[in-house]
């Protein structure tokens, strides 16, 4: 177990609705990244938060937004849901090192979102 | 063209076989190379992590990186039915936190 939890496990929404997905990082980890994994594909980077600030974004529109809180929890919000937003949403926590380099990301189990 | 290419399989092997999984990539700036294992309906689990070129061994798993050919491999020795999963390669240039994943290869090890 990575110590990273996500809720809910599954979610069904209709097109046009808004959704909030939640993640609880490993204790002490100051960085959370969110990924979208479509069926049969590898995860795609949405964005990363470091100490409650957005710290890099992938090729996703502004209707995808996030928040990171001081208590190691974070949220992914998606507005105006589209059918193509149906996917497994993964969060990954890591501890960003001061010296740079690669910070190992530990993934949660994901939230499966279905948009009808 | 995708930055990271990975054959989706599926790959089916008998128990005890040596498995070879591979990825190619186009971005020469990648410095960090990872292999994740993902069981059905679970999140990816880090298996191996390699910096730059070379080999790394951990139990039955060996990761190889050839930066000159932009090619990475994961070898699984004495494969077990419990190794049946999807294997994802991932890469990063460094300091970005942005992992670029391959499509994943589905492996089935038959008893």
pLDDT in tens, B35-77: 999 998 889 999 998 988 889 999 999 999 999 999 999 999 9
pLDDT, position B94: 78
Query: Rounded to a whole number, what is the distance in Å from the CA of A45 to chain B's nearest CA?
Result: 6
For residue A42, which residues of chain B lie inside 8 Å, CB to CB? 4, 6, 88, 90, 101-104
Whole-angstrom Cα distance, residue A108 to residue A27? 13
Candidates A1, A6, A42: best to mutate against B (most CBs of B within 10 A) is: A42
- ω before A8 within 30° of 0 (cis)? yes
The confidence band for B24, taking pLDDT boundaries of 50, 70 and 90, is very high
φ, ψ dihedrals at B86, nearest 5°: -100, 130
Per-residue pLDDT for A1 more than 80?
no
Report the distance separating Cα B86 and Cα A90, nearest Å.
Answer: 16
Whether the pLDDT of residue B3 is over 60: the answer is yes
pLDDT band at A97 (very low <50, low <70, confident <90, very high): low
Strand-pair category, B85-92 with B32-38? antiparallel
pLDDT top residue among B95 and A78: A78
pLDDT computed for residue A99 by the predictor? 47
Task: Looking at the complex, report in whole angstroms how far the Cα of residue B53 sits from the nearest Cα belonging to chain A.
Answer: 15
Share of chain B above pLDDT 70, in %: 99
pLDDT, residue A62, reads 96
Which of B9, B99, B103 to mutate to test binding with chain A, by most A CBs within 10 Å of its CB?
B99
Distance CA A86, CA A89 (A): 9
Nearest chain A residue to B92 by CA: give it: A102
């Amino acid at each position: 177990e990575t110590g990273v939890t996500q809720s809910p496990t599954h979610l069904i929404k209709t097109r046009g609705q808004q959704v909030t997905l939640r993640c609880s990082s490993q204790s002490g980890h100051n960085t959370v990244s969110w990924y979208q994994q479509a069926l049969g594909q590898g995860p795609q980077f949405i964005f990363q938060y470091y100490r409650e600030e957005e710290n890099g974004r992938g090729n996703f529109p502004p209707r995808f937004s996030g928040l990171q809180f001081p208590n190691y929890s974070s949220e992914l919000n998606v507005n105006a849901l589209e059918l193509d937003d149906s996917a497994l949403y993964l969060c990954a926590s890591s501890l960003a090192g001061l010296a740079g380099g690669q910070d190992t990301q530990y993934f949660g189990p994901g939230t499966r979102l279905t948009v009808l | 063209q995708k930055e990271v290419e990975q054959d989706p399989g599926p790959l089916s092997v008998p128990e005890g076989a040596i498995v070879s999984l591979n990825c190619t990539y186009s971005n020469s700036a990648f410095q960090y190379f990872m292999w994740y294992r993902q069981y059905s309906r679970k999140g990816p689990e880090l298996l191996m992590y390699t910096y730059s070129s070379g080999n790394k061994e951990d139990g039955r798993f060996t990761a190889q990186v050839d930066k000159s050919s932009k090619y990475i491999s994961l070898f699984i020795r004495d494969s077990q039915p419990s190794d049946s999963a999807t294997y994802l390669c991932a890469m990063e240039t460094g300091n970005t936190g942005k992992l670029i994943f391959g499509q994943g290869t589905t492996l089935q090890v038959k008893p």
